[in-house]
Amino acid sequence: MIRREFLAAGLGATGVVACDAAPGLAMAPPTTGLDPALLAQTLEAGEDLPKLHTIIVARDGVVQAERVYRGPNLDTPVNIKSASKSVLAGITGMAIGRGDLTGPDQTIAPFLSDRFPADPDPRLATLTVGHLLSMQAGLGPTSGANYGAWVSSRDWVRYALARPFEAEPGGRMIYSTGTSHLLSAVLTRASGLSTLALGRETLGAALDITIPSWPTDPQGIYSGGNDMRLSPRALLAFGELYRNDGLHAGSRVLPEGWVETSWRGRGTSRWSGNPYGYGWWIRRSGDHDVFFAWGYGGQMIFVTPDLNLTVVMTSSPEPVATRDGHVDALHRLLDVGLIPAARRGATAQN
């Protein structure tokens, strides 16, 4: 019964459910840990999700629960699909911090103008690093139905830059992995390192995590925004880095203010209605802001800052013929189980 209640819990039109606090009332005093009964029920409910591979729950930087339902163990790198975009945004922040880039307002033309079309749209010269991070380049998408043609092309960068403008730069959000791939190309040119080498030298070294190789385009540029591989524990370290405002073990890894900037919604998804910042999605769960990385099939990092809560979920990355509701079920595990468990805390029943 518990499992069915969790998985059948309804979400609103914007993917928000109410937590166990009455609207308009003052927040409860801060809690520690998670309510053990509700945490156990939530983990048990995960058993009924056949695509769910792993879950890690951390509160105040302390792991409260780890579960491998099926698939690789927690230290084995797995394909995180489009959650790669969040990781790429973190690498970009570190590249800015070390001076490879001057900031989000820097234009990309100095790095990619030789890949522009023969008669380029003048708006290409106005595109910035920030536009790529927030999916506000305005270029036609290379994701969805257009993805196959793009990755089959002989030059992914040229192909993405040649897409017709569907919106003004800095305007409407157009989700496109090609836009993220342009960011990978910019990082490669700006740093003089491959995106893999840059990621290992910055993020990998700072967090002491392994970043294995992942696919490249025909020119050898590592795929920007897809197919990176990280272990669930490495994803937790990355989520904790953002929860701690760019600090790891007391040392600054991301530039000061980068997390706040990244978690500021700029565009909005036409599909979910959720805002999008620099590589991170944003939504509300009851009284709480939730910032999350999202990869196809259910590769998730959820960070709920005011509860000091970080949750990682990995799932089968295999494609499905139709929308199967799995990702919605992962959000319900957070909304109906883990966030209320954190609100109540481990000692609430004592």
Domain-located, residue 181: yes
Instruction: Tell me the per-residue pLDDT of 174-216, one tens digit each, with 9 for 90 and over.
Output: 999 999 999 999 999 999 999 999 999 999 999 999 999 999 9
Supply the pLDDT for residue 320. Answer: 74
Number of other residues whose CB lies within 10 A of the CB of residue 58: 22
Model-level pTM? 0.93
In a domain, 9, yes or no: no
pLDDT band, residue 30 (cuts 50/70/90): confident
| Residue range 8-26, pLDDT digits in tens | 664 433 344 444 543 333 4
**Of the candidates 211, 230, 249, which is a domain's last residue?**
230
Whether residue 212 sits in one domain with residue 85: yes
Domain termination residue (choose one: 230, 265, 287): 230
Q: With respect to residue 29, please indicate whether it lies within any of the assigned structural domains.
A: yes
Domain check: are 84 and 155 in the same one? yes
- Structure tokens given for 279: 């590589």
Q: What is the residue range of 276's domain?
A: 14-76+231-350
4, part of any domain: no
Could you give the number of structural domains in the chain?
Answer: 2
Q: Are residues 225 and 88 in the same domain?
A: yes
How many CB atoms within 10 Å of residue 305?
Answer: 17
How far CA 55 is from CA of 106, 162, 219, in Å, comes to 38, 40, 36
**Phi and psi torsions of 342, nearest 5°:** -70, -35
Residues 203 and 144 in one domain: yes
DSSP state, residue 106: -
Q: What is the CATH number of the domain that holds 18?
A: 3.40.710.10
| 267-317 pLDDT, tens digit each | 999 888 999 999 999 999 999 999 999 999 999 999 999 999 999 999 999
Cα–Cα distance measured from residue 334 to residue 36, given in angstroms and rounded to the nearest whole number: 15
- Cβ density class 104-129: b for 16+ within 10 Å, e for less: bebbbeebbeebbeeeebeebebbbb
Q: Of 259, 266, 222, 256, which Cα lies nearest the Cα of 239?
A: 259
Q: For residue 65, what is the DSSP state?
A: E
107 within domain boundaries: yes
* Domain membership flag for residue 6: no
The verdict on 166 and 30 lying in the same domain is: no
For the chain, the farthest-separated pair of C-alpha atoms sits apart, in whole angstroms, at 71
Residue 136 lies in a domain: yes
Domain finish residue from 175, 198, 230: 230
Pair (259, 348) in one structural domain: yes
**Same domain, yes or no, for 213 and 263?**
no
Q: Is residue 7 part of a domain?
A: no
Share of the chain above pLDDT 90, in %: 87
Determine contact, residues 22/338, Cβ cutoff 8 Å: no
Q: Are residues 129 and 174 in the same domain?
A: yes
